[in-house]
Amino acid sequence: MNERFDDPRDDPLCFRSVDELAAGYRAGTFSPIEVTDAMYARIARINPRLVAYYELATPAAFAAARASEARHRARAALGALDGVPVSIKDHIDVAGMTSPRGLSLAGVARSTHDSPVTARLREAGAIILGKTTMPELSVIPVTHTRAFGITRNPCDTSRSPGGSSGGAAAAVAAGLCTLAIGSDGGGSIRLPAAFTGIAGHKPTLGRVPYYPGQTDRTVAGPLARSVRDCAHAMNAIARPDGRDWMELPPDGTDYVAATIGGTLAGLRIAWSPSYGYQHVDVQVARCVETAVARMANAGAQVTRIESICRDPFRAYMIQAGLRLRAARRSGDEPVAVASMLDFAAGITADDVQYLQDERNRLGADLLAVFASQDVLISPTAPIAAPAIGEFYPDGDTLGEANRNLIGFTCPVNLVHMPAISVDCGRTPAGLPVGVQIAGPKFSDARLLAVAHVIEAMQS
């Protein structure tokens, strides 16, 4: 039976926003301990069905809640995130917890340190509830693993929340945390956000320090039920750490302030329904087209561009495969995982040169768009959330070419640019549809501001 777990009326306290939690704590209406207790009670009821979390940090979370409550009583809160429950994706380290990368927990050591995002959230007083699921080695865009099972979509449990930050998105959408930290190397924050009807921001490479395991495409970023909550998270995590050699110097941006009083009037929007190579489901296309029409009615200057760039999927696969060449194989991997590992093993020097050439071409193509346009709008994904057991890596089961789940999302990863996905409507079956807003490097605040306005148009 299909079930839904995304209704705020079920447990209103678990669906409070960051601002609502902060106001409640200040007023003494409820406390961080009460909120943490409500979250864990909801996790106990719902997580066995969704499999959003694979490991909880219950004793440490309640200790953090008690400390937060004491600060609030003393009127010494550390900021907006003090007492806010958050989750952290599997492969992002939390001291004392495991990071198995979707694999078995057998023999996996517990992390001895916090990753940069974890450390910044602790410093802000956030309460880390646990670690969320991801697909094995993060190589497929849905969250199914042999170790932990199938992660399901709270909007419709017959559907996947996508991947690889599938557990993170499911936890947020189901009210099992207020904020989630995911990672995005080709769409792994934005796809799950689109499939579950929430917001997910992929920052400019280096804006949010990432350690260990830095790559030339993967970033950590927030998922939340609102763009403003994503902005609150960015204010905490987009701060220097010192362990990431690619991190950018702090620029003093207040991402929450950027979302206040925004307007689309005069904004130059490039609107591309297919990027020139994607095949988009008709129902998804209609939702996004309606959202674009609203943007135009709100004063945006919309320019339709049919072709943005050449399909970068092969280049993306080469870049993604390079980090998998040394992966240990068990011999019984799922077909999709084994296929990716086989591809990685066959990468040649010529492939690496092709990757470099295509990235240069792609960067030039996108910069040409942004020379005359402020943002680039497209669907986040060509379909709504796929059914459990199905996914479309580079062509769907109906034989329709170019319905690539990451076709809209992976280009910006290859050239270090930011993008955000925000909900823009529902299909006739009630499945969420996301619209992606992309921009040039360092335009994170603008993207959050635009997404905040688009989000408000849906309510």
Q: Which residues are catalytic?
A: 89, 164, 188
Q: For residues 223 and 179, what is the distance between their CA atoms, to the nearest angstrom?
A: 6
Relative orientation angle of helices 349-370 and 313-322, to the nearest 10 degrees: 130
Q: What pairs with residue 86 in β-bridges?
A: 128, 179
Task: State both tokens at 347.
Answer: 């990468």
What contacts 450, CB < 8 A, 6 or more positions away? 262, 264, 267, 375, 437
In 65-165, beta strands by DSSP E: 85-89, 127-132, 144-145, 149-150
What is 335-398 written as a DSSP string? HHHHHHHHHHHT--HHHHHHHHHHHHHHHHHHHHHHTT-SEEEEESSSSSPPBTT---SSS-TT
Q: For residues 336 and 345, what is the distance between their CA atoms, to the nearest angstrom?
A: 14
Cα dihedral value 237, 210, 14, 387, nearest 10: 140
Residue with token string 């959003």: 52
Q: For residues 370 and 438, what is the distance between their CA atoms, to the nearest angstrom?
A: 10
3-state secondary structure 191-215: HHHHHHCCEEEECCCCCCCCCCCCC
What contacts 364, CB < 8 A, 6 or more positions away? none
166 — phi, psi (to 5°)? Answer: -65, -45
Integer angstrom CA distances of residue 290 from 32, 353, 374? 40, 41, 20
In 159-317, beta strands by DSSP E: 179-184, 199-202, 219-224, 268-271, 301-304
DSSP H or E stretch at residue 432: strand 432-438
Q: For residues 324 and 137, what is the distance between their CA atoms, to the nearest angstrom?
A: 8
Using CB atoms within 10 Å of the CB of residue 94, give its burial: 0 to 12 exposed, 13 to 18 middle, 19+ buried: buried
Q: For residues 246 and 262, what is the distance between their CA atoms, to the nearest angstrom?
A: 31
